[in-house]
Amino acid sequence: MNALVFSTTLLMTLELPFLRLHYIFGSLCDVIHARMRFRLKVVFLILLLLFSTVFMYILGEWMAHYVILSQCDWPQLDPKSEDLAVPKANHTPLRVMLLTDTHLFGPCEGFWLERVRTDWQMYIAFKTAIHLHRPEIVFVLGDLTNEGQYSSDDYFNTTYVKRFYNVFAVPKDIQMFVLVGNHDVGFHYSISKHLLSRFNKDFSTKDVQFVNIGGNYFVMVNSIGLEGDDCFLCTEVDQQLEKIEKLLNCTKGDTSSNCTTKLSSYSRPILLTHFPLFRDSDRKCNEPDEAPYATKIEPFKEAWDCLSKNATDRILHQINPRLVINGHSHHGCTNRLSNGGGLEITLPSFNWAHKDNPSYGLVVVTPNNYAFSKCLMPRQSTSIIRYLFATICIIGGIYYRYYGKRRNRRKYSMLA
């Protein structure tokens, strides 16, 4: 009997440390397991929040642009606006889309996230507009890049050009023409033959282009070459404009120009530039996308904010356009042309980073008539408010889903 008691006591004495170790180890495992579950839950919540935010951003941008841009449509031609000096012809109206100042950020200005965000916004806006409107021609009126004049050849030739054609990709049945801006090659005082030839080569453009599409004439001019001095660019631009002036005069029937070639029929061209024509300021502009009042009343500097007075008078006399469309100021404006009969329309920047409420233009044109409408895009400030509100709702919903119900269960269990 004593031996049995002794054996039992000995076994209990030996097992006690093991039981304590088992208890400690089991408690430790429970703690580790609980922490792992907590961490997994935190990771899951973070991933859920990120996924919901990204999904909301992508879907929200598409929906916002689609809903807002679908309210804009091609304008209707007014028979009362026809140019009676141009014979009527059985021309199908040409549908043209215009935008400007896309300002793709480069490696120096703008955080990488800002580059991604603005590229994405412009990609969605342009893609939606192309899908909804199906234009036949697209014109981009300069300042394609934000740091083109400072970029290396390698960055410009590969990154900038590739990004532009990725963001502003068009189907094969749509033609795209681009103009050069001061941010692409620099202002007149700093421009070089290398920067200019690089841009023209990579974007397949010229300093002066005369485009004839269905009897509709478009004259695209590098604004930087309209200084009228003897610089290499200004000399070339002046020579090309003189040729176009002679061609138009010969087509009108002017026999004093020693005509050797002429067009099949005459129509007043549409002039496309980057710089606006000369004006004192934006004070007279009255547009939904106009400049803020403090900016509107600031005097314009000739050959910097707009063309000089001499350059404006000269090109209006040479081309005699019926419509002038340009950009550069980043704000919308519409003025009557000083040559009598016609409008100058300045489009705002297409980039949210430069304009809270950007827009683009739609033009329906025939040789003797045209109609213009402006398509307002979603406001950046409205989008930011929408995303903040949606993010708060998502966080609140997740919190209630995983913590609010737990509190309710504890409350009901205590009452029971």
Please write the tens of the pLDDT for every residue from 280-320.
Answer: 999 999 999 999 999 999 999 999 999 999 999 999 999 99
pLDDT grade for 325, boundaries at 50, 70 and 90: very high
State residue 398's pLDDT score.
63
Q: Which of 221, 297, 291, 210 is nearest to 251 (CA)?
A: 210
> Which residue would you say has higher pLDDT here, 149 or 415?
149
Give Cα 393 distance to the centre of its chain. 29
Which range (51-60, 222-231, 237-246) has the least confidence? Answer: 51-60
State residue 406's pLDDT score.
56
CA 194 to CA 197: how far, in whole Å? 5
Which one of 233-242, 251-260, 339-348, 395-404 scores highest in mean pLDDT? 233-242
Long-range interactions of 52-55: CB distance < 8 A, separation 24+: 52/394, 53/391, 53/394
Query: What number of other Cβ atoms are within 10 A of residue 143's Cβ?
Result: 26
- Enumerate residues 6+ apart whose C-beta is below 8 A from 271: 219, 221, 315, 319, 321, 323, 324, 325
For all residues of the chain together, what is the average pLDDT? 85
pTM of the predicted protein model: 0.82
CA 366 to CA 258: how far, in whole Å? 29
Q: What is the pLDDT of residues 355-371, one digit of tens each?
A: 989 999 999 999 999 99
* Overall size of the chain counted in residues: 416
